[in-house]
Amino acid sequence: MRGLIRVIIFVTVVWSAYWFVAGFGLRNAITTWFDKQQERGWQAEFSDVSTAGYPFHHVTHLNSPALADPVNGTAWSADWIEFQSPSIWPGRQVLRFADTPQRLSYFDQTATIEANDLQAELQLRPGVALVLEKMALTAGPWSITDEAEALAGGNTLTLIMEQTSIPEAYTVGARIDGFTPGDDLRELMRSATTLPQAFETLEMDMTVTFDKAWDRTALEQSRPQPVKIDLQLAEMKWGELRLFAAGKLDVDAQGIPSGEIAIKAENWRDMIAMANAAGALPDQAVDPVTRALNFMAGLGGNPKTLDLQLNFRDGFVALGPLPLGPAPHLILR
């Protein structure tokens, strides 16, 4: 019996020593990262740091963290953030964010984010490079506002990015339940009284291949850039209005996409009314556009359903035969 007690005491002492050493190392790695960003010209600061979670977890708590990159004009701040990981492997991190307002800025535009139970999960491959294997962002009720104006909100939020057997390729899934548009889109909703306040379905599944795998250099040096996008499905259901999209794009070194995205729209006439109410479609263009789309919908056998294709060619995008203008540049900054 005494031998067993000695063993238990020995194991407890060894594990405690490991926990404190590993906890100090993890805490030092986080604070050192902030110091290195300051050396690179960032604003990177926090008021104080503490460690808890003994004996099975390490929980590093930072108060008043603030990050700002002067090169791309982005900045973020919050009341606190927590890093939690199993004691045995710090490469599986859960980041918990404050329920109080967070601020995200891009140059002179600032958005305020409020979310319940907002957390991010990071699974990193063991090694110095810290290659990202999985990243997930989940939240309960959330909202984004710009000054006093509501931009968007929802009941839940789920974003998942997971590495495939090809290191540079990641599956990306997104789903928002109860998505509520902001004030600008609410103005459009008044022009279509059949549309409810919130979306019933808003989700997307795709596979994105980048020019390199996501690892620590994505924060410290440059972001991986997309080279291929395989959109398996994007779906939006908003009352009687439904949109489906699927297709593939190639992206060159300048971020210019080429390829096709097939789009299916049900009750598409509501879309024309909304575009007209928003000023995106002039009054004099409503009838010609309606006749053209009605003709194309009739070719499919169902006048309420429109099957079209977004064509990306030579830096421009067209919806079926209708040119829309220059294609967006898909560059992550």
Question: Which spans in 122-268 are helix H?
Answer: 183-189, 217-220
* Mean pLDDT across 244-261: 94
Residue 59, pLDDT above cutoff 70 = yes
Q: Is the pLDDT of residue 283 over 70?
A: yes
Sequence-distant (6+) residues with CB within 8 A of 225 are 210, 211, 251, 253, 255, 331, 332
Three-state secondary structure call for residue 92? strand
Phi, psi values for residue 152, rounded to 5°:
-170, 165
Q: In 3-state terms, what secondary structure has residue 257?
A: strand
| Token couple for 142 | 């959330």
Q: Tell me what percent of the residues of the chain surpass a pLDDT of 90.
A: 43
Cβ neighbours of residue 204 closer than 8 Å, sequence gap 6 or more? 172, 173, 174, 175, 231, 233, 234, 235
C-alpha torsion 227→230→231→233, nearest 10: -160
Q: Residue 13: CB partners within 8 Å, gap ≥ 6?
A: none
Buried b or exposed e, range 267-283, using 16+ CB within 10 angstroms: bbbbbbebbbeeeebee
Mean pLDDT of 247-266: 92
Measured CA to CA, the distance from residue 191 to residue 242 in angstroms comes to 17
Instruction: Give the count of alpha carbons within 13 A of 45, CB side only.
Output: 3
Which pLDDT does position 318 carry in this prediction? 86
Higher local confidence (pLDDT), 33 or 284: 33
Other Cβ atoms less than 10 A from the Cβ of 322: the count is 11
Burial of 42 (0-12, 13-18, 19+ CB in 10 A): middle
For residues 51 and 84, give the distance between their C-alpha atoms in angstroms, rounded to a whole number.
10
DSSP state, 327?
P
Q: Name which of 215, 184, 177 is nearest 198 in CA terms.
A: 177
Lowest mean pLDDT among 23-27, 29-33, 120-124, 317-321: 317-321
> Can you spell out the DSSP letters for 268-282?
THHHHHHHHHHTSS-
pTM of the model: 0.79
Question: What is the rounded CA–CA span in Å between residue 185 and residue 207?
Answer: 29
pLDDT surpasses 70 at 280: no
The pLDDT of residue 47 is above 60? yes
pLDDT at position 188 is: 56
The residue ranges of every structural domain in the chain are 1-107
- Using the Cα atoms of residue 161, residue 72, residue 149 and residue 276 in order, give the sign of their dihedral: negative
Neighbouring residues of 7: CB distance < 8 A, sequence distance ≥ 6: none
What pairs with residue 93 in β-bridges?
122
pLDDT digits over 115-173, tens only?
Answer: 999 999 989 887 777 889 999 999 999 999 987 788 889 999 999 999 999 999 999 99
* Residue 142 identity: W
- Residue in the block written with tokens 């009314």: 273
